[in-house]
Amino acid sequence: MSNPDIADLKAAGVSGVPSGKILVTNATILTMDDAGTTAGSLLIDGGRIVAVDPSEEQAKGAAIVDMGGKTVVPGLIDAHTHMEMIAYGWNIAVNVKPPLVTSIDDMVERLAEKAATLPAGKWILGQGMHYQNQHIAEGRYPNRWDLDRASTEHPIVVRFSFHINVFNSKALEVLGVDENTPDSDGGYLERTADGVPNGVSNDMWHALNAPDWPYEEVGPALANAQASFLENGITAITEFTLFRGGIDAYLEMERRKDLKIRVALYPKVPSVCPLEDAVSGRLGERFAEADPSRLKLGGMKMFIDGGLTSRAAAMYEPYWDSNLKGDLSFEPEEFSEIVKKLHGAGYQICVHAIGDLAQDVVLDAFAALPERKAANGAFHRIEHAGNCLWTDERAKRFADLGVLPVPQPPFIYTTAAGYRKNLGPVRGADLFPMRRMVMDQKFAIPGNSDAIGIHPKQHVPMFGIWAMVAREMNNGETLTDGENLDVMTSLRMYTRFAARSIGREHEIGSLEPGKFADFVVFDENPLTVPTDTLRDMMPNQTWIGGEQVFARDAREVAAKEAHIPA
């Protein structure tokens, strides 16, 4: 079942747009170069920018694309996303998110409707949202017995984040889960007083060997998700693939020339990519036939703890109103050895670490390296650092080590209120200090979403920019802490800073000679519109490598039948 609140998107086919030498003109072009240049025209040839505000001599023979006074910005880059999980959430999963569902009964009803259309034994995936227990009548997540009311003949799993998954009894049977199944490092099963798993799994998806879906379903779902990325101006992503079949899916999509967006792939070690495959070069060999400008192996993703949503992030002190402190996914010494091997193989390493204990363990591992840059020239990263638990002392350590913290701007809206409840009034008072990190501490924080399909706009860069400017939460409250950023700085995060964070600043992230002609066209200037407009602001056009890959109105934006005389 497709997610009904997401349309079946297809990138518009646009006729009349020239290839070869193109002059994009009559525009306000925010180049995002070092000088902050605003230009009026761009000359493109062979998919790359040849000149900014070119001379008449340079432009001879170019086809003219008149932008009609619109605003052009560099292609927007999501430096941490999960287009693959969005594909699952939108097109494979049953939508069980509020406001469509307001109770567990609603959820069961929608899952039962899906079960009635499938043969017995076929897996059913449901897609919920972060902290859904706080948004439905029962005030809790469902358990196995709730989901059994939808079907006892179909294995069912409902995903509320990557970290929280609830299985019905049939799914637990298929996976071989019973009271003797141990908790994993960094994850745990919730159990009854008698020790029987109740179906709620926290950070154990891979430990339980949960399933992938076949490419026949995943491929079209990825294409649909990609269409939404393109229509929102996203021209490049860093994909942290979390399904075991994800590498194969992207390679097949590129082989079929269906991959339009630029993808740097960072598989999870060791559950998606075994460590030996990474360090031996076997994984890299699989990318030998792929066009590296379109699909490349960017680095490796690791997890040192679980999610704050599941109270599995590793903390020094317990969560609010709880005895839980989370746990590490690896012993520190083992983790450090893996980091050394991946670094020695040249990979950029991006580590999921939310808890304060977890972040310190990762910093210790990075500190043991001779330096913190990968072969692609980018710094190693800690994903989610800066969402919470950010201190001046920890910030100094990041800076001294040259490690990049990567907080998630859209989480200000989607997740901050839940963080506050899990952390309590003291630790939850200082969330997403974006101004302090970017403006005061000078971290080049990349724009990113960590989108997995829980919110229809989480993957949208303009939504993330709005979140940093407005700082509204999904409970109706606003973070009034003075940590708001301005629009230009936020745009820089989703362009130049994002490209730098994955070692691609030499080819994307700004509109400068020699770089790919990846850009986005807006009817209005994002720098001058009211703040509320940013939330729903969408491009008129998206271009990748000098090719128009999305147009909102093909008739309006088709190229003029004109050339500058040669």
Cross-strand partners of 124:
156
Instruction: Residue 286: count other Cβ atoms within 10 Å of its Cβ.
Output: 13
pLDDT in tens, 213-223: 998 999 999 99
User: Is 437:393 a contact under the CB 8 Å cutoff?
Assistant: no
Q: Is 560 helix (H, G, I), strand (E, B) or coil?
A: coil
- Segment 314-327 shows an average pLDDT of 95
Instruction: Residue 139: count other Cβ atoms within 10 Å of its Cβ.
Output: 8
Return the pLDDT at 486.
98
Compute CA distances 278 → 52, 282, 285, 370, whole Å: 41, 7, 10, 20
Instruction: Residue 105: count other Cβ atoms within 10 Å of its Cβ.
Output: 14
Q: Which of 26, 1, 179, 227 is nearest to 97 (CA)?
A: 1
pLDDT in tens, 139-167: 999 999 999 999 999 999 999 988 899 99
Calculate ∠ Cα 301-242-298, nearest 5°: 40
Return the pLDDT at 554.
59
Q: How far apart are CA 276 and CA 69, in angstroms?
A: 53
How does residue 18 score in pLDDT terms, banded at 50, 70 and 90?
low
pLDDT in tens, 60-99: 999 999 999 999 999 999 999 999 999 999 999 999 999 9
Percent of all residues in the chain with a pLDDT value above 90, rounded to a whole number: 87
**Which of the residue ranges 49-53, 130-134, 455-459, 491-495 would you say has the lowest mean pLDDT?**
130-134
Calculate ∠ Cα 350-355-428, nearest 5°: 125
User: Is 81:116 a contact under the CB 8 Å cutoff?
Assistant: no
Q: How far apart are CA 448 and CA 76, in angstroms?
A: 10
How does residue 12 score in pLDDT terms, banded at 50, 70 and 90?
very low
CA neighbours closer than 13 Å in the CB half-sphere of residue 321:
6
pLDDT in tens, 364-402: 999 999 998 999 999 999 999 999 999 999 999 999 999
Q: What HEC string does 441-502 produce?
A: CCCCCCCCCCCCCCCCCCCCHHHHHHHHHHCECCCCCECCCCCCCCHHHHHHHHHHHHHHHC
User: Is 52:7 a contact under the CB 8 Å cutoff?
Assistant: no
Amino acid 108 reads V
Residue 34 backbone dihedrals phi, psi, to 5 degrees: -60, -35
For residues 303, 307, 308, 314, the Cα torsion angle rounded to the nearest 10 degrees is: -40
Q: What is the secondary structure of 51-119 as a DSSP string? A: EES--TTTTTTPEEEE-TT-EEEEPEEEEEE-HHHHHIIIIISEE--TTT--SHHHHHHHHHHHHTTS-
pLDDT in tens, 98-137: 999 999 999 999 999 999 999 999 999 999 998 899 889 9
Average pLDDT, the chain: 93
DSSP state at residue 151:
-
Amino acid 484 reads N
Q: Cβ-count burial of 112 within 10 angstroms (0-12 exposed, 13-18 middle, 19+ buried)?
A: middle
Helix (H) and strand (E) counts in the chain: 19, 24
Q: Which of 260, 267, 254, 275 is nearest to 298 (CA)?
A: 267
For residues 45, 47, 53, 58, the Cα torsion angle rounded to the nearest 10 degrees is: -10
How does residue 561 score in pLDDT terms, banded at 50, 70 and 90?
very low
User: Is 29:41 a contact under the CB 8 Å cutoff?
Assistant: yes
pLDDT in tens, 241-270: 998 899 999 999 999 999 999 999 999 999
Residue 406 backbone dihedrals phi, psi, to 5 degrees: -130, 85
E strand map for 116-228: 124-127, 156-159, 164-167, 188-191, 197-202
Structure tokens at 130: 């972060």
> In what helix (H) or strand (E) does residue 285 lie, and over which residues does it extend?
helix 282-285
Which residue pairs from 456-460 have beta carbons closer than 8 angstroms and sit at least 24 positions apart in sequence? 456/3, 456/5, 456/6, 457/410, 457/535, 458/410, 458/414, 459/78, 459/81, 459/83, 459/86, 459/228, 459/229, 459/232, 459/234, 460/232
Structure tokens at 363: 């910093």
Q: How far apart are CA 49 and CA 18, in angstroms?
A: 15
Return the pLDDT at 268.
95
pTM: 0.91
Distance, CA of 36 to chain centre:
27
Return the pLDDT at 558.
43
Compute CA distances 456 → 279, 332, 366, 463, 520, whole Å: 37, 37, 35, 10, 20
Q: How far apart are CA 420 and CA 127, in angstroms?
A: 23
Q: How far apart are CA 140 and CA 132, in angstroms?
A: 8
Q: How far apart are CA 337 and CA 316, in angstroms?
A: 23
Q: Which of 546, 555, 550 is nearest to 538 (CA)?
A: 550
